[in-house]
Amino acid sequence: MGKEAILYEKKPNEKVLCTACARYCEIGKNQIGLCGIRGNVDGKLDLFVYGKVIAGHVDPIEKKPAIHYRPGSRVFSIATTGCNWLCKYCQNYDISQRRKVEGTDMTPEEVVQTTLNYKADGIAYTYNQPSIFIEFARDVGVIARQKGLFNVFVSNGYDTPETVKMMGEFLDCITVDFKGSAEPEFTRKYIGVPDPKPIFDTLLEIRDKTKIHVEITDLIIPEAGDDLVYAKKLCKFIYDEFGPDMPIHFLRFHPDYKMMEFDSTPVKTLEKHYEIAKNEGLRYAYIGNVPGHSLEHTYCPECNCIAIKRYGFDIKEWNLDEKNRCINCQNQLPIIGSLSKNYKQERFQFVI
């Protein structure tokens, strides 16, 4: 079952130390780590879900959400089971929180060929935390790049220098998803994470050691994870360490899993978070999971015209030239790649 992992260290008494995530589980012989998919088999660490794909779907890249990287692209989204977090609100809980080992057997080559068959532009590793199956993702991603595809992680960022180093071998884009603005009491109570600091450390490691494009998301949960003080701290960290052009998405929560008693996030709460981001100097703040809201568009920070108009995950207007400059004022926007040729042109209006 599975395949021997790479990210681990052997310890005395046939124990192993897993280095794939910031929990650093020390696992005894024939025991399994918290994620449920990395376990000690006779003194070595096995990745039980290597080559087992539990979910596969073609998505717009905007769904990840990554909207400053290859806009309009199609990605083949895959996942395994398991997770290194215990989120009580997880919308993919049947995949991530059951700690089962299931899935369709697929080699890395088969994943890539399936992506090509669907005429997708890249592969997204998502629905559960991809760093816990990073050895499989790396093997897929290296082949994907050889075939002209790109690779995207949808991540909680609870990683290690070892995982970031491996990411650098194949990853092109990552969305790091904070929850409740990384307020420690929230992460302890609703995620089972004692300290969010490793997420911040991972972001700095990615900045310093790789060329991976990064976007930030922040799931805002009413009453439990909507503290504006911590939102301001998060935005200040992003501005100070990454500058004004780092995109941040404030996402609306919908009740799920073990948090069905909560309401959806009020739109006004998201708007307050948006204002904090702008006041801290972040030029590209967005509200997510509120289709039709004016703050899901990309605005030119120089003339405030709509550069990219969206409705949900659909692009409705593309008001940039071939060099991604605003057609109104010629300001250069930090968008990587032009609008994908795979995007169905009839779905939006060209204004150029």
Q: Which of 223, 301, 278, 289 is nearest to 250 (CA)?
A: 289
Q: What are the Cα distances from residue 84, in Å, to 124, 135, 324?
A: 18, 15, 38
Please give the distance of CA 347 from its chain centroid, rounded to a whole number: 26
d(CA 81, CA 155): 14
| Interaxial angle between packed helices 108-117 and 134-146, expressed in degrees from 0 to 180 and rounded to the nearest 10 | 50
d(CA 242, CA 256): 33
Note whether 73 and 33 are within 8 A (CB): no
Q: What are the boundaries of each domain within the chain?
A: 3-47, 52-292, 297-352
Please give the pLDDT value at position 47. Answer: 98
Q: Tokens 């009453």 appear where?
A: 223
Q: What is the pLDDT along the chain (352 residues), one digit of tens a residue?
A: 589 999 999 999 999 999 999 999 999 999 999 999 999 999 999 999 999 999 999 999 999 999 999 999 999 999 999 999 999 999 999 999 988 999 999 999 999 999 999 999 999 999 999 999 999 999 999 999 999 999 999 999 999 999 999 999 999 999 999 999 999 999 999 999 999 999 999 999 999 999 999 999 999 999 999 999 999 999 999 999 999 999 999 999 999 999 999 999 999 999 999 999 999 999 999 999 999 999 999 999 999 999 999 999 999 999 999 999 999 999 999 999 988 776 664 443 333 3
For residue 196, whether the previous peptide bond is cis, meaning omega lies within 30 degrees of 0, is no
Give this prediction's pTM: 0.95
d(CA 13, CA 32): 16
Note whether 128 and 83 are within 8 A (CB): yes
Phi and psi dihedrals of 63, rounded to 5?
-75, -15
DSSP structural state of residue 325: B
SS3 105: strand
- Contacts of 44 by beta carbon, 8 Å cutoff, 6+ apart: 4, 8, 10, 16
CATH of 52-292, one of 3.40.50.150, 1.20.1630.10, 3.20.20.70, 3.40.1710.10: 3.20.20.70
Please give the pLDDT value at position 343. Answer: 67
DSSP bridge partners of 22:
none
Please give the pLDDT value at position 344. Answer: 60
